[in-house]
Amino acid sequence: MANICIIYGSSTGNTRDVAQKLQSLWGSNEADLFEVTEIDTDIFERYNRFIFAVSTWGAGDLQDDWELFFPRLDEVDFGSKRVAVMALGDQQHYPDAFADCVALLVDKVSERGATVVGATLPEGYSYNSSRAEREGRLLGLLLDEDNQADLTDKRLRAWVVSLRKQFR
C-alpha cells in the first residue's frame, strides 16, 4: 500500500487524466489512485494523506460523483489526516465562481478535523472571484484544462514538490 491516496471523480475524463498525471509524478509506489464511485469510507482508515481531485460543474458545484459521496464524509474522523484538494475549473466561462467546489471539500474535511495542505498562490489565473481563494491564497491547486492546459504539467510538478514537504 502506498503512502498517499488520490481520490478523483470525473465526468468527462479530464479530472481522471490529471489525477493519473499526479499519481505518475508521485510514483505509483507512493500514491494509490481511486475513483470516488469505487470507494467506501473505510478507505479513510487505511491512509493518513489524501488528495481529492474534483472538477467544478456549473457555478461552483461538485462533480456528480463527488456530490453523491460528499455526505459520506460526515462519517469520517479526519483528526490525524492531511488532505489536499486539486480542482479543475473554467476561468473564462465562470469567472465569478472559478473552482468554487474546492471550498466545499476543504470546509467539510476541516470540520471533521483534517489538516488541509496544498494552498497555492493565485498568480497566473484570470477570474473575478472564487470561494477557493481565502486571504490571498488558493485553498488547493486549481487547473483550467479549457483555457490554460499548457500550464497544467508545470503547476502539477510545482505542487507535488510543495506537497512532499507538507505531507511529512
- Read off the CATH number of the domain in which 103 is found: 3.40.50.360
Residue 154 is part of which domain span? 4-166
Question: Each residue's pLDDT tens digit in the chain (168 positions)?
Answer: 579 999 999 999 999 999 999 999 998 899 999 999 999 999 999 999 999 999 998 878 899 999 999 999 999 999 999 999 999 999 999 999 999 999 999 999 999 999 999 999 999 999 999 999 999 999 999 999 999 999 999 999 999 999 999 998
DSSP H/E element including 150: none
Q: So what's the pLDDT on residue 1? A: 57
All residues at 6 or more sequence positions from 45 whose CB lies less than 8 Å from its CB, including other chains: none
Contact by Cβ (8 Å): 2, 32: yes
Q: So what's the pLDDT on residue 136? A: 96
At residue 112, what is the residue type? R
Q: So what's the pLDDT on residue 60? A: 82
Cα–Cα dist 63/83, whole Å: 18
Total number of domains constituting the chain: 1
All residues at 6 or more sequence positions from 90 whose CB lies less than 8 Å from its CB, including other chains: 56, 98, 144, 146, 147
Q: So what's the pLDDT on residue 146? A: 93
